[in-house]
Amino acid sequence: MNLMVTRSVMRRLVTSRKVVLYVSTPQSSTMNVEVRPVDEMKGPGYGVRWQRMASSGAGASDGKETKNKAMPGTNKSNAVVEEEKKKNEVMDSTYWGIVRPKIVREDGTEWPWNCFMPWETYSADLSIDLTKHHAPKTLMDKVAYRIVKLLRMPTDIFFKRRYGCRAMMLETVAAVPGMVGGMLLHLKSLRRFQQSGGWIKALLEEAENERMHLMTMVELVQPQLYERLLVLAVQGVFFNSFFVLYILSPKVAHRVVGYLEEEAIHSYTEYLKDVDNGKIENVPAPAIAKDYWRLPKDATLRDVIIVIRADEPHHRDVNHFASDLHCQKKDLSKAPAPISYH
Ligand SMILES: [Fe+2]
Ligand SMILES: [Fe+2]
């Protein structure tokens, strides 16, 4: 078991991008991992670089082996050991050796999320220009622009100024293009035995970032049954349409997404206005948002809208940039992709 745990951790060490991992002891199946910022990396999209300290207990941060508090039969009562066993019941019942080490914040509290890790969190870049707009010049641009304006009409009619619901619905759509584009570039890379220039990762990161917007919005707006059904229908239509569009013309597909992102900025700006003028209550920020965007403990809905809105122009820029590259007859793989550019 311990050998498998060690292998699992070492595998993660090898594949990890920004993480330094120290394993203190192979003697215990209970492993604590302390996460600490190591240094700051400058540039958009880069935040604190994290260091995970895997240890069997406190005081192992220098990488030396320390007293193993989790070892059964040492200084822990049977009740405590039993309690820990219950907590790890799912992991103990498997023989695959897959263990997710315990991760704690800087203040020592347990990291509660499995869907993202501390080293994937960031502070939003609020300095980005929200007003930038790609003026449609070519026929292709105009078609893409019209498609997005047409898509906005039913949204305006259906949601009116219910910006919480509107944002939630928007994010279920916004998280699709990055995944479709990333998937198709992935397949292209396999077919052509060719590097992607980082675009697969960039687009998948965008999809993940949009999904985190949705995970946050869903904490603020509990969707009704009819909204869930609407999401099913919209996703079915939008995924397939975008998939076909990306195959036929990635140039148009990226342009459409660029304009969709411009609309997203507009929607969040209107949402913010309604919070500021008291039409929407400025409730406390959901816990997931505080951790994902490193917001203060007393952060509110207003702060959340501001950081989500700051992500959207980054997606706008990436997609207009990708479309521009296609317009210039350049293969995306020849231009470096903006990784971690939220
Ligand atoms: Fe979004
Ligand atoms: Fe976006």
Task: Say whether domain 139-334 belongs to CATH 1.20.1260.140.
Answer: yes
Q: What is the pLDDT of residue 304?
A: 98
Tell me the ligand closest to 307's alpha carbon: 1
What's the gap in Å between 338 CA and the centre of ligand 2? 15
Judge whether 233 and 124 are in contact, CB under 8 Å.
Answer: no
Domain parsing of the chain, residue ranges: 1-57, 139-334
What's the gap in Å between 267 CA and the centre of ligand 1? 10
Q: Residues in the chain with pLDDT < 70?
A: 1-93
Residues with Cβ within 8 Å of residue 7, at least 6 apart in sequence: 97
User: Could you give the CA distance from residue 273 to residue 11 in angstroms, rounded to a whole number?
Assistant: 48
Tell me the ligand closest to 212's alpha carbon: 1
The two beta strands, 21-22 and 48-55, are parallel
DSSP 8-state assignment for residue 193: T
What's the gap in Å between 282 CA and the centre of ligand 2? 22
Tell me the ligand closest to 257's alpha carbon: 2
What's the gap in Å between 178 CA and the centre of ligand 2? 9
What's the gap in Å between 18 CA and the centre of ligand 2? 25
What's the gap in Å between 40 CA and the centre of ligand 1? 26
Q: What is the pLDDT of residue 160?
A: 84
54 phi, psi to nearest 5 deg: -85, 130
What's the gap in Å between 307 CA and the centre of ligand 1? 10
Instruction: Give the pTM.
Output: 0.76
Residues with Cβ within 8 Å of residue 209, at least 6 apart in sequence: 311, 315, 342
Q: What is the pLDDT of residue 291?
A: 96
Tell me the ligand closest to 308's alpha carbon: 1
What's the gap in Å between 267 CA and the centre of ligand 2? 11
Residues with Cβ within 8 Å of residue 244, at least 6 apart in sequence: none
User: Could you give the CA distance from residue 279 to residue 198 in angstroms, rounded to a whole number?
Assistant: 43
Residues with Cβ within 8 Å of residue 197, at least 6 apart in sequence: 331, 332, 333, 334, 335, 336, 337
Tell me the ligand closest to 268's alpha carbon: 1
What's the gap in Å between 306 CA and the centre of ligand 1? 12
User: Could you give the CA distance from residue 330 to residue 323 in angstroms, rounded to a whole number?
Assistant: 10
Token code pair at residue 12: 């993660």
Q: What is the pLDDT of residue 230?
A: 92
What's the gap in Å between 170 CA and the centre of ligand 1? 7
Q: What is the pLDDT of residue 87?
A: 60
What's the gap in Å between 340 CA and the centre of ligand 2? 14
pLDDT per residue as tens digits for the range 209-240: 999 999 999 999 988 999 899 999 999 999 99
Residues with Cβ within 8 Å of residue 122, at least 6 apart in sequence: 45, 46, 47, 293, 294, 340, 342
Q: What is the pLDDT of residue 90?
A: 54
Angle between helices 301-327 and 199-220 (to 10 degrees): 150
What's the gap in Å between 133 CA and the centre of ligand 1? 17
Strand order in the sheet with 102-104: 21-22, 48-55, 32-40, 102-104
Judge whether 69 and 27 are in contact, CB under 8 Å.
Answer: no
Judge whether 267 and 316 are in contact, CB under 8 Å.
Answer: no
Alpha helix stretches (DSSP H) within 108-198: 139-159, 163-192
What's the gap in Å between 228 CA and the centre of ligand 2? 21
Which three-class secondary structure state does DSSP give residue 35?
strand
What's the gap in Å between 138 CA and the centre of ligand 2? 24
Q: Please list all protein residues whose beta carbon sits less than 5 angstroms from ligand 2, which is an ion.
A: 174, 261, 312, 315
How far from each other are the two terminal CA atoms of the chain, in whole angstroms?
39
Tell me the ligand closest to 216's alpha carbon: 1
